[in-house]
Amino acid sequence: MQAAWVFGALVVPQLLGFAHGAQGTEREWEGGWGGALEEEQAREALMLKHLQEALGLEAARGGENPARTFEAKGAWATEEDQGEEEEEAIPTASPSPSPSPTPEDPITYILGRLAGLDAGLHQLHVRLHALDTRVVQLTQGLRQLREAARDTRDTVEALQEAQGRAERLHGRLEGCLKGLRLGHKCFLLSRDFEVQAAAQARCAARGGSLAQPADRQQMEALTRYLRAALAPYNWPVWLGVHDRRAEGLYLFENGQRVSFFAWHRAPSPEPGSHPSSAPHPLSPNQPNGGALENCVAQASDDGSWWDHDCERRLYYVCEFPF
C-alpha cells in the first residue's frame, strides 16, 4: 500500500503538470523561452512539495486505513483541480495547443538532416564509382576498336596495293597479248575518248604510260598498228608528248626530252603550179597552236604528229614495258 501511494504521489503530479503545460501553451509561446523555463521551475517546485507532503504524511500516520488515505488523496486532488481552474481562467490567444520547444529540438533536426545528406552523398559516391567503372570499360572498348580499325585499314591498304599490282600486271600482259609487241615494249590502242591527262592516268593504272616512240623504227611500227586498227578512218590518237612546261620544249611523260619528231607538213604544190604563201586551210604545218595547244596526237592514217588542246577527248595508245 505504501509503494502504491508513493507511485501515485510521483505520477499524478506529473500528469497534472502535463495538463497544466498543455493549457498554458499560449503563455509559453508569448513569453518566449524565458517564460517556459520559469513555468517549468514552478512546476518542479510544486511536484517536489507534493512529494514531500506525501512522504511526511505516510511516515507520521504509519498504518493508516485505506479510507483515510483515499480522503487525503481526494483532498489533494481537489487542491489540484482548484489550481487548474484558476489557470483555465487566464484568457488564451490561440486555442490550438503545441508542444513547448526545447533546446534539443533544433540540434536533433540538424543532426537528422546531416545524416540524410551523408546517406545521399554515399549513394552519389557509389553511383559515381559505377560510372567511372563504366567509363573505363568504354575507354578500353574504344581503344580496342581503334586498334581493330587500324589493323583493318592496314589490311585494306595492303589489299589495294596488291590489287594495283595485279591490275598493272594484267594490263601489261593484256597490252602485249592484244597489242603490238616491239622490242622491250608493247603498244595497245584504247578506243575510249579521254583528255590527255586522264588517258595518261588510265595507262599508268594498268602499269604503263602513253606511247613514247623514241625513234623512227618505233614510229613506223606504231603507224602501221594504228592504221590497221582504225582503217578506213583517220583518228587522232594521244601520245605521251607535250610542251606544257615551256613552249616549244617537247618532253615525254617520263620527263625525257623528245629528240625525234614527225610533225605534219602541208602538201607540196604540184609541178608547174605557183606556190602559195597562205597555209593550207585543212592541213596546216604543225605545230601551229602556240600556248593554246600543248599536247601531241598522232594521225592514224599517215602517222604524222599534230598539236592539240590537252582538254580534247581523243583515243589514246598505251605503252607497256616487256
For the chain, the distance separating the N- and C-terminal CA atoms, rounded to the nearest angstrom, is 135
**pLDDT, tens only, 188-234:** 999 999 999 999 999 999 999 999 998 889 999 999 999 999 989 99
Give me the average pLDDT of each 10-residue run along the chain (322 residues): 44 43 44 58 70 58 45 43 47 50 73 90 94 94 94 93 90 90 92 95 93 91 94 94 91 90 79 52 77 92 92 96 85
Q: Give just the sign of the alpha carbon dihedral 304, 307, 313, 317.
A: positive
Which pLDDT score is estimated for 85? 47
Cell of 69: 488515505
Contact 1/9 with Cβ under 8 angstroms?
Answer: no
- CA 146-148-150 angle, to 5 degrees, is 70
**pLDDT, tens only, 122-167:** 999 999 999 999 999 999 999 999 999 999 999 999 999 998 889 8
- CA 6-8-10 angle, to 5 degrees, is 70
Which pLDDT score is estimated for 251? 94
Which pLDDT score is estimated for 37? 67
Which pLDDT score is estimated for 55? 58
Look over the chain and give the mean of its residue pLDDT values, rounded to a whole number. 77
The three-class DSSP label of residue 242 is strand
The Cα 212–Cα 219 span in angstroms is 9
The topology under which CATH files domain 179-266+279-321 is: Mannose-Binding Protein A; Chain A (3.10.100)
DSSP tag of 257: B
Alpha-carbon torsion, ordered 267, 268, 273, 279, to 10 deg: 60
The Cα 274–Cα 284 span in angstroms is 18
- Locate the domains of the chain by residue range: 179-266+279-321
